[in-house]
Structure 1
Amino acid sequence: MNHPFQALCLIDSRNDESAGRSLIAACGPGLYSIAFDGTHEGSVRAKWVAGHESTEEATVEESPEPQQKKRKLNDVAAESAPVFTKLVTAANQSYIVAATDDKCIRVFEFAKDGRLNQLSQRCMPKRPCAIQITPDSKTIICGDKFGDVYSLPLLMPAASEITQSVTSNGVSQPKLYSPAAEETTVHTMRNRKALEEQLRAKGRPTNAKVALAFEHKILLGHVSMLTDMQITTDKSNGGTYIMTCDRDEHIRVSRGILQSHIIENFCMGHTEFVHKLQILPDTDILLSGGGDDWLGVWNWKSGKLIARHDLRGLKTGVDGLDARIAVQNIWLVRGANDQIIKPHTIAVKAEGSKSLAVLEASSITDAAAIPQIVDCSAIGDIIDMVTIGADRLIASVEGSPRLQCLELRKTGEKWELTRDEEASNMLTQVNAIEVARPDAKKLDAILYGVETLRKQEFDDEAEG
């Protein structure tokens, strides 16, 4: 079996007559640019593979017909290359920021012909868990697994570019061990043995911290592991706010970059870890989900919990009674008018569940509203989704085919998620790409792991 597509994002450049709309899909160490511009729907325009540090143009760009011949990455290179974990698109639709499991943040320029040009590679002290780009498309906000949140310029300043050339593309080099003594200064047997140990360790990396070789600023920190982050602008005052959540049930609202040390408020109410945050555009509404069996609806400006929507219908296991909820993702689905900015549907996915909890945005603040559970077993275990049109979604699935075009529609009072067979057939070429599938343990670490955030009794004892 092939490696699933673990992350998706959308580039929508339809305001530029010379460009269009493209799906960016991560599959293992590969990043693929897939056309959705009305002319070469579903064709692979370009690919970029971590470890190769170059962009390859897809040969099928010359023909709209699906290419039947399968292409395969070198298995050995695929196993050792870093894997993409996060993707986010800049508001100006010109850049993509990606995180990989080697702790690096990579910035790509999206060319009009669909190519992906890597502009920078910056390795962070700890593994990035969340990345966002400020609304002005100038700054990256990165949160890591140790709870620290940094700001980095999206585009490397000239001074930093000079530093980068000396430090291998901005990658902070580990400090190497150097013996404190030499043979001429050692006179006893004990000290000689110590020197031998030091000589054996010579040249090995130490645990000493090394200053990052690129411009960065630490904004704020959580005591616990950071799990997700959102950025929004308050239209009433023009201020930017950063929402962060962690493994310790906290949701924190901080002011923007210049005043990030100021905590606006906390959204308190979760009793288990918080894994996912989602902002409803142009509103004061924040959605949250994690280890609790409900979806939280908050007024983030006041910190008030407005509603809890029951997610117990997403439970898996024997009759759904023994499993716990671990919210994997919260998606906003665009409505019947493709030009409407505000989403009209919220879809929630729990890890391991082949169902979605669906709720209309218009009723999200109604505490009495009950999410409808939509069966997705005919589609598969959904990993990620992006909206590409009126009620149309592209979903990455653990199963076959790996990428599918779906429709989420309401008939009467019933929501249904169905596969658009004609549109899905346009994805034949990208679904034919072969990438070596890792062993089950490694794949689980890439695709899943939300439930592992849940604290056990011994965790509390260890922290106490």
Structure 2
Amino acid sequence: MQHPYQCICVCHPVGGDGSGMLLAASGPKISSVNLQNGSIVSSWPDEESSPAHETRETSTPEGPPGKKRKIAQSTETKPNVIQLTTSHDHKHVIAATGEDKCIRVFAIDPTGQLTQLSERYNESLLYRGLELTMPRCMPKRPCAIAVTPDNQTVILGDKHGDVYSLPLLPEDKDPSQLVPERAEAAPRKAFVPAATNLTVHTGRNLKALEAQQKQKDLHAKTKEPPKFESTLLLGHVSMLTDLLLATVVPDEPNAKPRNYILTSDRDEHIRVSRGLPQTHVIEGYCLGHTEFVSKLCIVNDRLLVSGGGNDWLGVWDWVRGELEMKLDLKDLLVAVRQDGLIPRTSDASLRDASDTVAVSGLWACHMAHPHESQLLIALEGVPALFHVPISQLVAQYQCRPDLEYTALPGNLLDIAIHTPVSATSAEHLSSLNEVSLIVSVDNMHALGSTSQPRSEPTSQRLLSLPLCKDPEVKRWGIDERSTALLEAANSAEGPERGGKGVAALCYGVETLRKRGGGKEEEEEG
């Protein structure tokens, strides 16, 4: 069974035909799919450049040819892609991989071919004029990435709670000049417990003493800085979960636009900081969540939507730090179960309607007419796309927002918003009426479950959902004709992974929830 596509996005390369390219990550593999004809035009890593095996012939000075030796295939596990985005000018693709904590930048040409860049720093090789094989690896695992509007800088948040800036395309500099030399630390003295087994008598204290004696180094490990050009912008004391870049144009005439960085963490905080170069200045907070905040989405200049472990979405005036509205999700999730979308099962991992909600995705889908623009919502382990008109999220809207859902054949993993780009601005405005969604679903797990495998395998991993043309029905529907264009991507071979590996990669939001009364598990780097 093919590995699902855990990350997808749409790119419109400069000089292309305007139909766009779908970039889809399946495990460690990134594919570039032409959205006009559905063909896969490029893949990374290139399988042809790393053959499964090769045959070598041993040479001898004289006599018959030597015995042929078959070189076995490398068993090295490739890192999975956990973040995927594009620059605003659609010239570059940025990917973050989990196991090696690295950032990779690709150039994309008009045909959709991917070429990996930013592989220039390798202390064991020459650095000038060569394309080397060392990506930029962070001290901790990246969890959110964004590109500045000028397409010059990548803003990156990691699980340690820190936010860095690094150039999209690093300059050709000596790596030794990029990181300041650190003074050699004085040698640490060996730790010797003050107590001994002669002075400690109780069972609990004896166990504590034994643990101290087994501990080789009780000092906290220092966090090594990145060995490439980067700047630490800000930090949270908790695990970072998401970040956004925002720009506000003041009401005063001739006032300059103000840039901000919005960040969220596991400790229910949403922080508003100034943008570059004053990121150390905190402008305010949006406080009100009682569980972790996993996703942020700006739907207009001053309106922020947040979601996480609470059973509601927060709608904020983030400039003033005020909660404008709570959008209830629990009642709709109950309706999904009552409609039979999630089959009843004895699977213990299947969340019940009375259990918790975990928001795994928020997207703003803008249309030509503002009243048609939609907020798209994904809940972890739920085979449905939730959506609500953005125009109904303002404080002046007196009625209850029309929160609806579209059933899917698998748990929703990711969404890419596809808007065909036309040659002229007038045509571009009309093309906004042709907005469609490309949805990635889990083809390996049962509907509504994050651990139980499917009883019947399926290869359907990508779907196309245009907005219904009926003005009275504001609902997305699966389009069989446009989904057929994705057949090559749906049938493409992916990495072979077990169910646990796929679950760990595709489902991690619920693990952010703090469990009362028990010892919390340590988060992996």
Q: Would you call these one fold, judging by a TM-score over 0.5?
A: yes
Alignment of 1:98-113 (within 5 A): 98-101=95-98, 102-113=100-111
Distance 1:244 1:310, change over 3 A: same
Residue 43 (structure 1) aligned with residue 61 (structure 2): no
Deviation by residue 1:248-285 (Cα, 9 ceiling, x = unmatched) = 0000000012100000110011111000001124x211
1:416 deviation in Å?
3.1
AA partner of residue 388 (structure 2): L
The corresponding residue for 2:416 is 386
The corresponding residue for 1:26 is 25
Deviates more, 1:358-367 or 1:124-133: 358-367
The corresponding residue for 2:127 is none
More strand by share: 1
2:164–2:230 contact (8 Å) kept in structure 1 = yes
Deviation by residue 1:230-265 (Cα, 9 ceiling, x = unmatched) = 001112231210000000000000001210000011
User: Sequence identity, in percent?
Assistant: 40
- Structure 1: which 5+ runs fail to align? 55-74, 181-205
Which of these residues, 324, 327, 332, is aligned with residue 309 of structure 1?
Answer: 327
The corresponding residue for 2:403 is 372
1:394 deviation in Å?
0.9
1:254–1:261 contact (8 Å) kept in structure 2 = yes
The corresponding residue for 1:184 is none
AA partner of residue 451 (structure 1): E
Q: Distance in 2 between matches of 1:95 and 1:295?
A: 32
Distance 1:208 1:346, change over 3 A: closer
DSSP 3-state at the match of 1:442: helix
1:374 deviation in Å?
1.5
The corresponding residue for 2:150 is 136
1:441 deviation in Å?
1.8
TM-score normalised per structure 2: 0.70
Which of these residues, 356, 360, 365, is aligned with residue 333 of structure 1?
Answer: 365
Distance 1:104 1:224, change over 3 A: same
Distance 1:147 1:391, change over 3 A: same
AA partner of residue 298 (structure 1): W
1:373 deviation in Å?
2.9
The corresponding residue for 1:250 is 269
Distance 1:402 1:424, change over 3 A: same
AA partner of residue 40 (structure 2): V
Residue 163 (structure 1) aligned with residue 175 (structure 2): yes
Q: Distance in 1 between matches of 2:47 and 2:355?
A: 39
Deviates more, 1:400-409 or 1:449-458: 400-409
1:253–1:264 contact (8 Å) kept in structure 2 = yes
The corresponding residue for 2:6 is 6
AA partner of residue 12 (structure 1): H
Distance 1:18 1:349, change over 3 A: closer
TM-score normalised per structure 1: 0.78
2:379–2:412 contact (8 Å) kept in structure 1 = no
Distance 1:357 1:13, change over 3 A: same
Deviates more, 1:265-274 or 1:111-120: 111-120
Deviation by residue 1:86-109 (Cα, 9 ceiling, x = unmatched) = 011111110111100120011111
Q: Distance in 2 between matches of 1:356 and 1:105?
A: 30
Q: Distance in 1 between matches of 2:75 and 2:258?
A: 43
1:445 deviation in Å?
1.2
Residue 294 (structure 1) aligned with residue 293 (structure 2): no
Deviates more, 1:283-292 or 1:18-27: 18-27
1:314–1:356 contact (8 Å) kept in structure 2 = no
- Structure 2: which 5+ runs fail to align? 51-71, 119-134, 190-219, 251-255, 345-350, 420-433, 444-458
Larger Rg computed on CA atoms: 2
1:296 deviation in Å?
0.9
Which of these residues, 409, 426, 433, is aligned with residue 492 of structure 2?
Answer: 433
2:299–2:375 contact (8 Å) kept in structure 1 = no
DSSP 3-state at the match of 1:409: coil
Deviation by residue 1:95-153 (Cα, 9 ceiling, x = unmatched) = 11110012001111112221111112200000001111111111111111110111101
The corresponding residue for 2:303 is 285
DSSP 3-state at the match of 2:488: helix
Tell me how large the CA RMSD over aligned residues is: 3.2
Alignment of 1:140-159 (within 5 A): 140-159=154-173
Q: Distance in 2 between matches of 1:223 and 1:50?
A: 40
The corresponding residue for 1:85 is 82
The corresponding residue for 2:213 is none
Q: Distance in 2 between matches of 1:341 and 1:244?
A: 27
DSSP 3-state at the match of 2:373: strand
1:77 deviation in Å?
6.0
AA partner of residue 24 (structure 2): A
